[in-house]
Structure 1
Amino acid sequence: MTERTLSEAEYDAITDAAAHWCMRMHAADCTDAERLAFRQWHDADPLHAFEYEAMLEIWDVADHLPRIESAPPAPLPRPRSRWRSLATAAAVLVVGLPLAAYTGWNLGWLANSYERFEADASVRRITLGDGSQVELNLGSELVFANYKNERRVTLKRGEAFFEVSHDTQHPFIVRAGQGQVRVTGTRFNVWMYQDQVRVTLVEGSVLVASNHALTQNGSRLTPGMQASYKAGDFQAQVREIPADDNSLAWRNGKLVLNNLTLTDALPLINRYLDHPVMLADNNTGALRIGGIYNISEVKNLVPSLPKVLPVYLTQNKDGNPVLNTIGQRPANQ
């Protein structure tokens, strides 16, 4: 994308428009015509999409406001007064949203800072605004927001290992899928694929809840324990970490599959793929696979599967590769 320089007034106009569309998309009386106009505005310029996304993140209302599913635009040049522009637009939102009318920093609703981090082709180590250290696995993205009463991370995709700065007055919350992990200072790993989440605790203590709205039903983990949940679970499933567990092998650049069924192995593999591999049937899913693979080369694993397993590859109507057991009739696709 060709970089361009906009005046402060032009940036402010775009930011104000993003705030306006946040309000209208949230409004109960929003019309189809407005939604169409919003879509046209959003898609007309990558900066429009960027500002709309930034507005959602600042206010941490992604669960309440509609989100346009699109690839994040490349970073654009931004003026020094960007925070003032966003703060002005945030004030517009406070006036416009009934929910926000009683909120702000002093009430613990408005974050005073936010940061977004991504790791694409390599593992990335980052430092959050509170001093906590995070390692991001390939293809991972998170947002950090600092509130008066808590520090909040939203893991949008992928996997992250956290070393949280200790602060008993400001709990550290990691939202992943439909659940969350609550800590004050500890070391733990969060893996997420679609609606599946797995939390592995190395040091300290965490409280894992399978639903944002049911945090009182959380499960307390101590070092050496692991919790898993998916969408719809009332409580996380907790177990001791098996002696042969390799959940943290990615920190050394490896994906370790220890004689897993394809049903269990594919979520670990698909996490690194643009087009996830599907299973033709349960019999195919029962086949087992093992081995150690470089996380940067997992995409090369898929075409090699017919060489190590009694399977062949087809493709479904969505373009996803499908594994079929040799000797069985392929499922309808």
Structure 2
Amino acid sequence: MTEHTFSEAEYDAVTDAAAHWCMRLHAIDCTAEERQAFEQWHDAHPLHAFEYEAMLEIWDVAGDLPRPESAAPPLHVPLPSKPSTSWRTFGLSAAVCALALPLAAYAGWNLGWLPNSYQHFESTDNVRQITLSDGSQVELNLSSELTFSNYKDERRVTLKKGEAFFSVSHDMKHPFIVKAAEGRIRVTGTKFNVWLYEDQVRVNLIEGSVLVTSNDTLNGDGLRLGPSMQARFRHGDFMPQISETYANDSSLAWRSGKLVLDDLPLSEALPLINRYLTKPVMIADKSTASIRLGGIYNIKEINNLVATLPRVLPVYLTRNENGNPVLNAIPRQTPKS
């Protein structure tokens, strides 16, 4: 069967539809019927899925555009009942057009609104080494994802999930910003590691210095870390928790394909384990959470670890209504009097 070749007009129509769906799915008033219609459109042809993913990346960049304080509130524009070119009347069109038209893109670059380089990276079953467009080197742990945007006044990384080790090229006038959850790490040139799981973030500094804030909406650049220091924070933390790391710290063992658990309570060990799992392991109660786990494990074989936990710990496995494994402490038997 001959594969259909899209004409230029058909390709443009798919792009317009992808932009329309991108806006509708981000709209507060998007209905269940619309979402079902989107799924049908998305799955109808591989080009639809490809164009929609590309539009999501542009949406991410558009979300970083500054909002002038004097800007008037947006006008209400009737939403189209079907995909059409009317999406260009929306705010997203400014970012799309600026990225597409060299002259507008140049103006956006000079104003510091738009990047002159945008990259997206993912790793699945292997640790991945990448080079950003500014020359910085990054190692991505398994199941990790990040984007890089090079602006006139800063270099900006968004760690969407997982873990990354950064060797940042030095540029005092062009700071390197990593956004993770609600926090921000600001550097000019250094080596550091960022781990993200759900709303938990951990930053380990190896060389140089970084400024860490737990909420990038707060004023100031945050707390300064020196070599062999670590910052931890999660959603709602006003300030990150700062501590020193010991000489044999194992938080970077993933770069050698290992996960090292140094006699940690399950409440701390499971987030390190779960980020490698499709179905995260849950804890039944506080008594289970306090049970400690140690050992060295291959990060590619973490799935096998879950099944072995009842053999090495006083726990048994059940499953919740969502199919997640649940660890339950085995009750201690009261000695007979």
Task: Give the shorter-chain TM-score range.
Answer: 0.7 to 0.9
> Separation in 1 of the partners of 2:284 and 2:114?
47
> Separation in 2 of the partners of 1:15 and 1:201?
43
Q: Does 1:247 align with 2:251?
A: yes
Residue 55 of structure 2: aligned partner:
55
> Separation in 2 of the partners of 1:89 and 1:134?
38
Q: For 1:183-217, what per-residue CA distance to the aligned partner results, in whole angstroms no more than 9, with x for missing partners?
A: 11111000011110101010111111112212515
Please point out which of 172, 183, 188 is paired with 2:192: 188
Contact kept, 8 Å, 2:279 with 2:325, in 1: the verdict is yes
Residue 79 of structure 1: aligned partner:
none
> Separation in 1 of the partners of 2:232 and 2:195?
9
Alignment of 1:1-333 (within 5 A): 6-23=6-23, 32=31, 37-38=37-38, 40-61=40-61, 93-94=93-94, 104-214=108-218, 216=220, 218-327=222-331
Contact kept, 8 Å, 2:208 with 2:227, in 1: the verdict is yes
Q: CA deviation at 1:245?
A: 2.1
Contact kept, 8 Å, 1:19 with 1:89, in 2: the verdict is no
Query: Please, which runs of 5 or more residues in structure 2 have no aligned partner?
Result: 66-87, 98-103
Larger Rg: 2
> Separation in 2 of the partners of 1:196 and 1:141?
16
Q: 1:150 to 1:6 in 2, by over 3 A?
A: farther
> Separation in 1 of the partners of 2:306 and 2:48?
38
In the alignment, residue 151 of structure 1 is paired with which amino acid?
R
Q: 1:210 to 1:5 in 2, by over 3 A?
A: farther
> Separation in 1 of the partners of 2:7 and 2:62?
29
Residue 85 of structure 1: aligned partner:
none
User: Residue 60 of structure 1: SS of its match in structure 2?
Assistant: helix
Contact kept, 8 Å, 1:280 with 1:322, in 2: the verdict is yes
Contact kept, 8 Å, 1:15 with 1:89, in 2: the verdict is no
Q: For 1:119-170, what per-residue CA distance to the aligned partner results, in whole angstroms no more than 9, with x for missing partners?
A: 1111111111111100011111111112222111111111000001111222
Contact kept, 8 Å, 2:250 with 2:260, in 1: the verdict is yes
> Separation in 2 of the partners of 1:90 and 1:168?
37
Q: CA deviation at 1:264?
A: 0.6
User: Residue 116 of structure 1: SS of its match in structure 2?
Assistant: strand
Query: Please, which runs of 5 or more residues in structure 1 have no aligned partner?
Result: 66-87
> Separation in 2 of the partners of 1:218 and 1:4?
54
User: Residue 218 of structure 2: SS of its match in structure 1?
Assistant: helix
Q: CA deviation at 1:230?
A: 0.7
Contact kept, 8 Å, 1:58 with 1:110, in 2: the verdict is no
> Separation in 2 of the partners of 1:118 and 1:89?
32
Q: CA RMSD in A?
A: 3.1
Contact kept, 8 Å, 1:56 with 1:62, in 2: the verdict is no
In the alignment, residue 122 of structure 2 is paired with which amino acid?
E
User: Residue 165 of structure 1: SS of its match in structure 2?
Assistant: coil
Q: 1:264 to 1:48 in 2, by over 3 A?
A: same
Contact kept, 8 Å, 1:23 with 1:93, in 2: the verdict is no
Q: CA deviation at 1:226?
A: 0.6
Contact kept, 8 Å, 2:58 with 2:96, in 1: the verdict is no
Q: For 1:254-312, what per-residue CA distance to the aligned partner results, in whole angstroms no more than 9, with x for missing partners?
A: 10000000111000000111100001100011011110001111111000001101110
Contact kept, 8 Å, 1:310 with 1:325, in 2: the verdict is yes
Contact kept, 8 Å, 1:134 with 1:163, in 2: the verdict is yes
